[in-house]
Chain A
Amino acid sequence: MSAPFDNGWRLELLDRMIRIREFEEGVRFLFLEGAMPGTIHQCQGQEATAVGVCVALREDDFITSTFRGHGHAIAKGLSEQELLDELFGASTGCCKGKGGSMHVGNMSKGMVPGIAIVGGGIPLAAGMALAFKMQKSDQVVACFFGDGAVAEGAFHEGVNMAAIWRLPTIFVCENNLYGASTRIDLVMKNSRVADRAAQYGIAGETVDGNDVEAVYAATEVAAARCRAGDGPVLLELLTYRQTGHSRRDPRLYQPEAEKKEWAARDPIEVLSTRLQAEGVADKAEIEEMRARAAKRFAEAVDRARAAPQPSIDDLGTDLFAEEPAP
C-alpha cells in the first residue's frame, strides 16, 4: 500500500471497506436464496474496525477473530475466493471446508480461524503474544471481540495475564452496542469498555470505530507500544451492526431512531464523503470501485459454486498433526 494518509492509501482503505460490504451483501443474498449451507454472522456497518486495525498491522502480525469474521478476513488479506469456497463448504476453502463461516482464517496470512466461543480468542491471543515475546520477535497480535465478550471470564483472565507480562496484544473491542439482541447497558453498569484498562494497569482508548482513519491511527500507536514492550493496549471501537446478529434476525430490538443515527455514520459513507469533500475522489470513481468489487465477488461466486466438495475420506483427516497409522 502507499504511505499512510496519502491519497492513494486512503482510497485503498475505502476500496477494502467496499469489498467487505459487497462481500457481505452478496453473501446475504446467497443465503436468502438458499444457495449456501450453514449460518452467517455479518458485519455490514463495521467495516472500518476491521480495515483500520488490519491495515495498521504488518503482514506477519496476527489477528484473532470471532464468529463475525468475514470483514476481518478480507481486511487481513484473505481473498474473496478462499472465503466463499469455505462458505460453500468446498475443499478449496481457506479451512478446506472444515471451518465454515464462523471459523474462517488463514495462518499464512496472519489470521487465526475465527474463535466462535465468545471471549475464547482473548486468552489465545495473549498466549500467541507470549510466544512472540519469548521468541524475541516484534510481532503483535490484534484480538477482535465484541462488547458481549467483556462479560466473559476469559476477557478478565486473558487481559490480566497480558497486562502482568506486558504482552504485545492489542485487545480490540468492537463495541456495536449489542451482544446478540441484548443491549450493552442491560449487562454492564459501566458500558465504557475502555475504562476497564485502568484496572489492569494498561493503556486504553475509546475511538470512533466508524472512522477508519481514526481506527488506523489508534491501532498504529497501539502496535508501536506493543513492539516497544509497553503492551498490551485495550482499544474500544464504537460501531454499529447494520444487519442482524445472524441470518434471519430482523433487528427488532434496535430502535428506529438509533438505526437512522448510525446509518448516517456509515463507515463507507463517512470516508467517501470526506474524500469527495477534499477532492481526493469523485462520485464516479467511488461508484467504479463498488462495481469492481461487485464484479470480483460475482466471479468468485461462480467459481465457488463449482468448487469441489470434500470427499468422505476427508472426514477423519486433519485431526492429529501426524496422523496415526490406520
Chain B
Amino acid sequence: MKRQGIAEALRDAIAEEMERDLRVFCLGEDIGVPGGWGGAFTVTLGLEKRFPDRVINTPIAELGFFGVATGAAMMGLRPIVDVQYGDFLFLASDQIINNAAKLRYMSGGQIRTPMVMRAPVGATGRGSQHAQNMERYFVGVPGLKVVAPSNAYDAKGLLKAAVRDDNPVMIFEHKLLYGSKGARAEPGAIDATSDIPDGDYVVSLDKAAVIRTGSQVSILGWLLTAHLALQAAKQLASEGLDAEAIDVRALAPLDWPTIEASARKSGRVVIVEEGPKTGGVAAEIAASLCERLPGLRVARVASADVPVPFSPPLENAYRPDVARVVAAARSLCVTGRS
C-alpha cells in the first residue's frame, strides 16, 4: 500500500500494463524525451528509460497521431495516446470519431480498435483554449467509452481496465486533481490522492461509485465536481439534510442502475458539471432520468454558457462551487417531493 496522486498512479498503471503486455505502447507529444517532461503533466515521466522502443514521441500533429494510434490498434497493438490539453482533441476528432469509434460498426464487426486516449481538462488559469471540459463532445459518440476519474485509485484502475478493453476508451483527467506537489502543481489543486494497493486491480469502465450514502437528495459529479458533490453533501448533513453523493466516473456508458437507484430513493437529483450548462453531460443525465422516473425533481449546477475566462474572479465564477451545489440541493428539498 502506498499513498499516490493521480499522475503517479497513472504512471504506475501504464508501466505495469506495458510490463504485462508487449502490445501496449505510448504515443504523444513531449513524451520519451530525455530531459523532457513526460507529457504536459509528467504522467509518462521516465517511462522511456524502461521501455525505450515503446514510448514514441510525436510531432505536434494531433490529427495525425490519433490516426496513427487507430491504425496501429487495428493491426493488433494497444496504444495509449494522449493530448497535452483536452482542447486539442478537436484537432484529432476526425480520427477519433470517424475512424476509431466507427470502424468496427461500419466494417460489420471486422475491426477492433483497442486504444486508450488520455486528455487533461479543467479550468486552471490558462484562459479559454487550455481549459475547457471536453466530456460533452465525446459521450454521445457511439463506439466510444468515456471515463473520468476523480481520485488516484480510480485513475489507476480505470486506465488498466481501459488498456485491457478491446474498444477505444477516452479517459479525462482533471488538471486540478493531478496533485498539489511537484513541478506541475496547480494553484487551487484538490487532494485526490489515494491509498494504492500493491497488487494488480482494475476499476470497471461502466460503474459509478456511491461516495456518500444519503436519502433525501442525490448529488452527482465527476472529476473535480465529484469532490464538490461530496463536500456539499457533508455540509448539507450539518444542516440536517441527508444527501447522497455519487461519483459518476463512467460517462459512456452511464451506470444507470446505480444512478437510477439513488434517484428513485431520494426523488431529488442535483447534477454538477464543470462546463457550459447548455448541451452538457448533465443535460443528458437529467433528460434520461426524467424519462425513467417521471415526477423526479432535477437541478443542474454547471458553468455559464461562455468560454473559460482567464481572470481569477471570473474563472472562479465559471467553475461550479460547493455553495451553489448546496443551494441547489436545499432548494429542491424545500420545495418538496412532487
Residues in A lying within 8 Å of B, measured CB to CB: 62, 93-99, 103, 105-108, 112-113, 115, 117, 120, 122-132, 134-135, 153-154, 156-158, 160-161, 164-165, 317-322, 324
The reply to whether A96 and B99 contact each other, CB–CB distance below 8 Å, is no
- B96 CB to closest chain A CB, in angstroms? 11
CB-nearest residue of chain B relative to A99? B106
Decide: A99 near B108, CB < 8 A? Known: A115-B99, A154-B63, A324-B253: yes
In Å, the complex CA distance between A154 and B66 comes to: 11
Contact sample, A vs B, 18 pairs, CB 8 Å cutoff: A113-B107, A113-B110, A123-B68, A125-B71, A126-B67, A126-B68, A126-B71, A127-B75, A128-B75, A129-B71, A130-B71, A130-B72, A154-B64, A158-B64, A161-B58, A318-B104, A319-B105, A320-B104
**B21 at interface, CB cutoff 8 A:** no
Given A95-B107, A98-B105, A154-B64, 12 further pairs, Cβ under 8 A = A97-B108, A107-B110, A112-B74, A120-B99, A123-B64, A127-B69, A127-B70, A134-B25, A161-B59, A319-B105, A321-B112, A321-B114
| Chain B residues, CB < 8 A from A105 | 107, 110
Q: Is the CB of B72 within 8 A of A127?
A: yes
Q: In the complex the two chains form, what is the Cα distance from A107 to B72 in whole Å?
A: 14
Q: How long is the Cα–Cα vector from A122 to B65 in the complex, in angstroms?
A: 11
Residue of B nearest to A107 (CB): B110
- CB nearest neighbor in A for B54: A134
- Chain A residue with Cβ nearest B77: A131
Identify the closest chain B residue to A64 (Cβ): B71
Q: Do B106 and A113 have beta carbons less than 8 Å apart?
A: yes
**CB < 8 Å neighbour of A123 from B95, B111, B112, B167:** B95
A-B contact count (CB 8 A): 153
- Whether A128 lies near B71 (C-beta < 8 A) is yes
Q: Is the CB of A160 within 8 A of B61?
A: yes
Selected contact of B105 from candidates A122, A123, A129, A318, CB within 8 Å: A318
Check B40 for interface membership: any CB of A closer than 8 A: no
The answer to whether B166 touches A321 (Cβ under 8 A) is yes
Shortest distance between the CB of A310 and any CB in chain B (Å): 9
Q: In the assembled complex, which residues on chain A have CB atoms less than 8 Å from the CB atom of B75?
A: 62, 127-128, 131-132, 135
Q: Give CA–CA (A79, B114) in the complex, Å.
A: 29
- CB of A169, distance to nearest CB on chain B (Å): 10
Q: How far is the CB of B322 from chain A (nearest CB, A)?
A: 35
Q: What residue of chain B has the Cβ atom nearest to residue A322's Cβ?
A: B166
Q: Is B143 an interface residue (CB 8 A)?
A: yes
User: Contact: B167 with A321, CB < 8 Å?
Assistant: yes
Most buried by B among A94, A318, A320: A320
How far, in angstroms, from A251 to B196 measured CA to CA in the complex? Answer: 65
Q: How far is the CA of A232 from the CA of B104 in the complex (A)?
A: 27
- In the complex, chain A residues whose CB is within 8 Å of the CB of B99: 115, 117, 120, 124
Residues of A within 8 Å of B95, CB to CB, are: 120, 123-124
Report chain B residues within 8 Å CB of A158.
Answer: 64, 67-68
The distance in angstroms between the C-alpha atoms of A115 and B94, with both chains bound, is 11
CA distance A135 to B22 in the complex (A): 10
Query: Is B206 located at the chain interface by the 8 A CB criterion?
Result: yes
Q: Which residues of A contact B165 (CB under 8 A)?
A: 321
Beta-carbon contact of B68 and A320 below 8 Å = no
Whether a CB of chain A sits under 8 angstroms from the CB of B312 is: no
**By the criterion CB–CB under 8 Å, are A318 and B109 in contact?**
yes
User: Closest Cβ of chain A: how far from B76's Cβ, in Å?
Assistant: 6
Flag whether B291 is at the interface (Cβ < 8 A). Answer: no
Contact B76 A131 (CB under 8 A): yes
